[in-house]
Structure 1
C-alpha cells in the first residue's frame, strides 16, 4: 500500500508522518497538493502544520484546494483518510467530518502531552486498543477546540462516531482535563465511514521509540488494517 501525505503551503508535520509510517513499514510519500492524488494511493494523511498561515480560519484555505475533491471521492470509495491537527481542521472544513475546530478556550497555543480515552475499538484506527483504554499523545495547537451544534452532536453520539475524548490517567473526563475546551472533551471523530477520521492530537509524534511514548502507533497502523480487510 502507499499512503499519500498531502503537503499544503505551511504544512510542517508531513515529514513527521512520513517517518512514523516508515518506522511501521508502511510505504509513504509526500504529495504536493497541486500535483493531485497519485493513482497508486491507498491511504491519505492530511498532516499538521499551519496551512496558508491559518488565514481566514485554520484549514479553510487548504480545504478549498482542488485535491480535496479528489480526496472526498477517494474517501467515498473506502480509501482510508486520517486528518491530524491542521489536517483535522482541513477535514472538517472540507466536509469529510462533522463539526469544526476553533480557538482554544485559553486563547493560547498549547503544546503538551495529554491522555485520550478510546471510545470504541471496532474501527481501523482503534482496533489495536480496547474500549476505555487510555493512551498518551502530544498536542500542539492554537485552534483545537472542537465545536458542533447540539443537534448534530447528538447525532454523532447516537451514531457512535466519537473516536477519542480527552481524559486523565484513569480515563475520567471533565473540564479540568480538557486542554482546549472541546465540546464533551472530544479529541477525535469519525466521518460517515469508519475509514475516515480526524483528531487534534498527534499520533505520529508518539510512534518512534527513540523519542518518547509509542501509544500513537496503533492509530497509524489503521492504514494496514483497512488495506488487509478490503
Structure 2
C-alpha cells in the first residue's frame, strides 16, 4: 500500500507555519515525510512568489532539486486549474515541460475543462497520469473515453463526512461496474481527511495525507508538520495490516 505525502496543495503561503513553498522547504519536507513513512510524494510547484505555478522553468527547477537532493521516491505533480486557470495555457505549459526533468507522474482532474486532451498529451510524453475523480460524471468520462491512466484518485470534495462517503461509494461502484482494476487511492480534505483515510484502509486502496489535505491530526489538534501527519497515517496503515 502506498502512503502518498501531499506536501502543500493549493494552500496559501502562511496558512500553516510548516507549509513548504520554497525549494529548500519542499526538499527538507520531502525527506521528513519519507522518514515518517511516506512511499511517494505529491507536490504543487511554487513560483518565486510562493504561488502555484506550472511554468516549465519552475517545474524543471523543482524536479532537478528533488532528484538531486530529495529522497529517492516517486514524485507526482499537480496539473489542477488552481495552478493555471486557463486550460489552453495549461496545455501549452505542460507541453513545454523539459524531458530530463519530467515528474514520475501527474494528477489530472477529469472534471476540469481540457482534461482529456491533457491526459493524451501526457501519454504521448510517456508521463504516467493519475486520474482525479471528484464526481460520478468525472468517473463516466474516464470510462467512456478509454483514456490511459496508471491509477485513479477518488477525491470526494463534500464537506460532510457522510456526503463524502456517499460520493466515494458512488464512484467506486461505477469503477467496479466497468471492471476497472487500476490501482486506486481514496482521500478526503479537511474534516473528511481522516475519515476517508479510514475508509481507504477498509477498502484496501492506497492512502494520502499531508498539509494539502488537512492541517489537523485525528484528535483535532493542529499538526506540527507533514511528517507529523504521515507518521500518524503510517501507524494507522500498520495497525490495519
Normalised by the length of structure 1, the TM-score is 0.36
Q: Which has the higher helix share?
A: 2
Structure (1/2) with the larger strand percentage: 1
Task: Tell which structure's C-alpha radius of gyration is larger.
Answer: 2
TM-score (norm 2): 0.35
